[in-house]
Amino acid sequence: MTTTVGVEEEYLLVDAATGRLGAYGEKVRAAAGVAPFAAATEIQLELLQAQVEVATPVCGTLAEVGGNLLRLRHAVAEAAQTYGCRIMAAGTAPMALDSPVPVTDKARYRAMRRQAPQLVAEQLVNGMHVHVGVPSRRVGVEVLNRLRPWLPTLTAMGANSPLWEGHDTGFASWRTVVFGRWPVSGVPPRFADDTDYDVRARRLLGTGVISDIGQLYWQARLCERYPTVEVRCLDVQSRADDAVLFAGLVRGLVDTAMREAAAGRPAPDSSPELLDAAMWQAARHGLGQDLIDPDGRRRRAGDVVSHLLEHVGPALAEAGDAREVAALVHRLLRHGTGADRQRQTFLDSGPDAVVTMITDTTMMP
């Protein structure tokens, strides 16, 4: 049976006339939720009012993922147009800010602002979260332990946030750096089993430093609402078909991890310091320089990506995804990441052109 997959995406709202952020999240969410092509439950508010989030239904195929993402992008874009806005799928806000963006008026978000006001003010970052179904929390933890070494590779491939407030950060995924400042973030630790996972999560909650399970901002974690593993290391993708690519790769990694666990193969014991270094390298350079591979070796980025495709190849073939994923990976290697496209447009034409380019691309198939 095919493993199920679902995708969440976060977007920025941009004033169509000025190219600046528009704090219309609550209005756009309400309008999109009554549109004929989207359910209210598929569109949610985010921390800051210039953001909205969408969530696909549970999907069995990559074609379903792509179709639902395009449907939801168009539903939100149509609602945004009512308020003179466009939607932008970029990992960070590339434009300069005229004033702070208001926090969405929810108790949880107000509490986060009290806890970390500057971090909240700078949380104009957008991710793509991929959920893959697992049969139990025990299996989910087995999967997490086997995903850890591959999270830097995914981060490098999905880098789409080089710009911040009108300037080039020098990083391919500045979003990764911004998110890494929260108390519980980065590559998750290795867990003995699901009991160990739950005990450690409760201990973190007991410190009072995080207020709820949702603030376990690990780049992969168990989802508490659904029986899924949630991979969170990816910047949101400007093109919907790039999002489809990562849905396929993540599902392939999860399926491969479940096969290895069922066969009794031990999970890799990757050291946290090497994974941190690998993640920093991935966020800094994307695919533009060498990567640190899952064995801790420095290798050409293209070779590490090829190793990933080989690793998940049998799972992709069984799901019927091999040809589509391979074609999209080859296009990525040939044309570069979203960060590469943003940076080139910035160099050629400046930050306003980047905003136009991304908002146009967000509505492409």
Task: Please report how many Cα atoms fall inside a 13 Å half-sphere around the Cα of residue 184, on the Cβ side.
Answer: 22
Residue type, 281: Q
Number of domains, the chain:
1
User: How confident is the model over 31-51, as a mean pLDDT?
Assistant: 86
Burial class from Cβ neighbours inside 10 Å (0-12, 13-18, 19+) for residue 265 reads exposed
Q: What is the pLDDT of residue 168?
A: 98
pLDDT, residue 115, reads 94
pLDDT at 34: 65
For the residues of 120-186, what is the DSSP string, one character each? Answer: HHT--B-EEEEEEE-S-HHHHHHHHHHHGGGHHHHHHHT--B-EETTEE-S-SBHHHHHHTTSSSEE
pLDDT of residue 41: 87
Q: Which residues touch 361 (CB under 8 Å, ≥6 apart)?
A: 89, 238, 239
pLDDT of residue 268: 94
Please say if the pLDDT value at position 35 is more than 70: no
pLDDT tens-digit map of 262-279: 999 999 999 999 999 999
Mean of all residue pLDDT scores within the chain: 96
What's the number of CA atoms in the CB half-sphere (13 Å) around residue 88?
A: 33
Inform me whether the pLDDT recorded for 1 exceeds 70.
Answer: no
Q: What is the pLDDT of residue 39?
A: 81
pLDDT band at 246 (very low <50, low <70, confident <90, very high): very high
Query: pLDDT tens across 306-323, in order?
Result: 999 999 999 999 999 999
Residue 335: which CATH number? 3.30.590.20
Instruction: Look at residue 37 in the predicted model and tell me its pLDDT.
Output: 74
- Residues 87-133 have pLDDT tens digits of 999 999 999 888 899 999 999 999 999 999 999 999 999 999 999 99
Provide the residue range defining the domain that includes 137: 5-362
